[in-house]
Structure 1
């Protein structure tokens, strides 16, 4: 970080201190629909489906257990392999009753980010083991990176300017988000409810520019510049530039942007 945060900055970022007041109440945070993680045919009749969510600052793994076998299932436990962001169960897996044949039970398991870390491929891969009275079963799932966006991820404007300049241009990734049908205020609201914070908004040569920041649970900051063509009929393409000191994260951040803005 430069020693002074007040150095004059030229170009498009120079006057980004005019954040419009047209920001309404944020909507709810986006949760990816549940998918089947472990089919019953691979787990002696136990089917596991689930998704991940961030609620009130807590990461949760929403899991559905279905017994498609002929016998009762009991004594459930869960364990994670080491992963890129230290995700681990913050409490034991609680299934209140035995899982009878044809029964389904839904559980929300709180997760912490203080578990052992090992870089995975892909980065958001989570390897899970589930035990019951019959056997131990293994599966992998991919979590959306936005569950790691923390609530205090709004960077001060001067710090944003200095950091954007300080991160090498080689670390900048540029993407296009096609067929988005939201204006800049709606985009800002939707992203803010997922802890992507708009620091400033400008109109440059007819385009709305949103400057945004987010912070991961491990302290890594991601800076974004989002260009929106206002007033386009129905659908428009957005241009997203991301800067981060760990640029391999950018493609997963793009996936979260696309999912949030199109759902």
Structure 2
């Protein structure tokens, strides 16, 4: 429901959730209250009405309702700091109803963050400190930070004794290493320079956001058009499923195939969220997109040569800027070794994979699954794989990816998790997607639009410097080759300056390159700062 919330329908959704919040089913009620908070975080105009609903729920004095409301209000404060502080007095009247650790931690955070607006903040924190040593780690850590914030904002004698007592507990009487280390950090900060401590502890925190905003708008439109079908359940485009389906049957997947398959049922249960790829493994189909080996629909794969797996990585280096990496060693894969790299060619994202069987027996029932990721990368078609890979055989294939799959914010943001299954077991590996393969051909901005966005105060920026050994012409060519579009080029006081733009999925990046001798100053601007690290890494890679 939260994925469908918008400015137009948020009022109706909140009304519905308000009714759900008072249900007798505790878990259902808690989830409904959390959803009210997510609506407020996702749609700014809904924040005020969400706060009013949450205050009404707090006034019910029902323990689990009050506790969940406190947790949600804390998240709203993190999204909209210095707003809605008037509700804090309502929350402070319900302290005796907070027996849930997460709710306690949320209330303590609110008191510490808004201690200047709470007259008796020191007394309230003292109440929580009475059982400090018996609390769980989350509450203890939050209490420690809240007391330090209180002292830094109001360095009175009473607050000083409070912070000294807490730091003594954390450094001398607590066995938890995280708590003890944080206590030492605060003690050293406070004893060295109070201004530095204020800069560190009271610094402005990044605003939180709702991950549903990362859902690709085109995919969302497709899901809305097919509401009630499997596409809206699995967050996949409707084209992946057959037009006429019943009892969860997918295209090319029949009940008979399931019954006759030797596919490991344990793996099937683990992968139940990926039915399309499971059916590819069961069906035993095989097709190469970029391979010199041509096979039938289900013939065992034999290597055309006995060359080593590492030999393949040494070949064709010019086709990729990043050397091929081993994702899964033979030891981790119980005889299966997997390596590969990412390319962008012919306007497509290609995942070049190599699989080698080091075991003494054939590997059968092969399936490859791409888990949800930050960009929604997913194969454009069902994967057709061989029914077996013979011993010492090397399988090379190219998988075409596109941003059509489910989205989930990863850490780091360019992490791609892949699952490979066969008759031996299920194996998972992570690989980092180089951002430059995601730079789209549609990223060229007109000068007027570029200038307008460059002046937009909502864009955040980073600035860094690198050393390059390329000429002006070589730099221009490297940028153009990687879909970094040159909007304008200038010579300013002996510095060569390029103003460029990049389009990555639905995110736009504005970049200024300034070259003086071999020193390159780079400025990146965007509304999605979480992508700064991967954009910076790709630029460094391209120019080196």
TM norm structure 2: 0.40
> By how many angstroms is 1:131 displaced?
1.2
Separation of aligned partners in 1, 2:336 and 2:371: 20
Equivalent of 1:252 in 528, 531, 534:
534
Alpha-carbon RMSD: 1.6
- Residue 104 of structure 1 aligns with which residue? 394
Answer yes or no: is the 8 Å Cα contact 2:484–2:501 preserved in 1. yes
Separation of aligned partners in 2, 1:247 and 1:168: 11
- Residue 142 of structure 1 aligns with which residue? 432
Separation of aligned partners in 2, 1:85 and 1:95: 24
> By how many angstroms is 1:31 displaced?
3.3
2:327 maps to 1:40? no
2:344 maps to 1:54? yes
> By how many angstroms is 1:83 displaced?
0.7
- Residue 405 of structure 2 aligns with which residue? 115
More strand by share: 1
- Residue 139 of structure 2 aligns with which residue? none
Separation of aligned partners in 2, 1:87 and 1:77: 17
Q: Deviations over 1:117-147 (max 9, x none)?
A: 1110000001110112221111111110111
Answer yes or no: is the 8 Å Cα contact 2:366–2:388 preserved in 1. no
- Residue 91 of structure 1 aligns with which residue? 381
Answer yes or no: is the 8 Å Cα contact 1:183–1:228 preserved in 2. no
Separation of aligned partners in 2, 1:29 and 1:161: 35
Separation of aligned partners in 1, 2:394 and 2:360: 14
- Residue 172 of structure 1 aligns with which residue? 461
The secondary structure found in structure 2 opposite 1:260 is helix
The secondary structure found in structure 1 opposite 2:536 is helix
Separation of aligned partners in 1, 2:411 and 2:536: 17
User: Aligned residues, how many?
Assistant: 227
Unaligned runs of 5+ in 2: 1-317
The secondary structure found in structure 2 opposite 1:225 is strand
Answer yes or no: is the 8 Å Cα contact 2:365–2:387 preserved in 1. no
Answer yes or no: is the 8 Å Cα contact 1:188–1:197 preserved in 2. no
More helix by share: 2
Change (3 A) 1:177 1:37: same
Separation of aligned partners in 2, 1:195 and 1:97: 38
Separation of aligned partners in 2, 1:97 and 1:210: 51
Of stretches 83-92 and 192-201 in structure 1, the one that deviates more from structure 2 is 83-92
Q: What does 1:1-263 align with in structure 2 at a 5 Å threshold?
A: 31-96=321-386, 98-168=388-458, 171-178=460-467, 180-217=468-505, 219-229=506-516, 232=517, 236-262=518-544
Change (3 A) 1:36 1:260: same
Change (3 A) 1:62 1:30: closer
Moved over 4 A (4+): none
> By how many angstroms is 1:58 displaced?
0.9
> By how many angstroms is 1:73 displaced?
1.3
The secondary structure found in structure 1 opposite 2:355 is strand
TM norm structure 1: 0.82
> By how many angstroms is 1:75 displaced?
2.2
> By how many angstroms is 1:30 displaced?
5.1
Separation of aligned partners in 1, 2:538 and 2:399: 22
Separation of aligned partners in 2, 1:168 and 1:237: 29
The secondary structure found in structure 2 opposite 1:41 is coil
Answer yes or no: is the 8 Å Cα contact 1:29–1:54 preserved in 2. no
Unaligned runs of 5+ in 1: 1-27
Answer yes or no: is the 8 Å Cα contact 2:416–2:431 preserved in 1. yes
Of stretches 242-251 and 88-97 in structure 1, the one that deviates more from structure 2 is 88-97
Separation of aligned partners in 2, 1:93 and 1:66: 18
Answer yes or no: is the 8 Å Cα contact 2:364–2:388 preserved in 1. yes
Q: Deviations over 1:2-25 (max 9, x none)?
A: xxxxxxxxxxxxxxxxxxxxxxxx
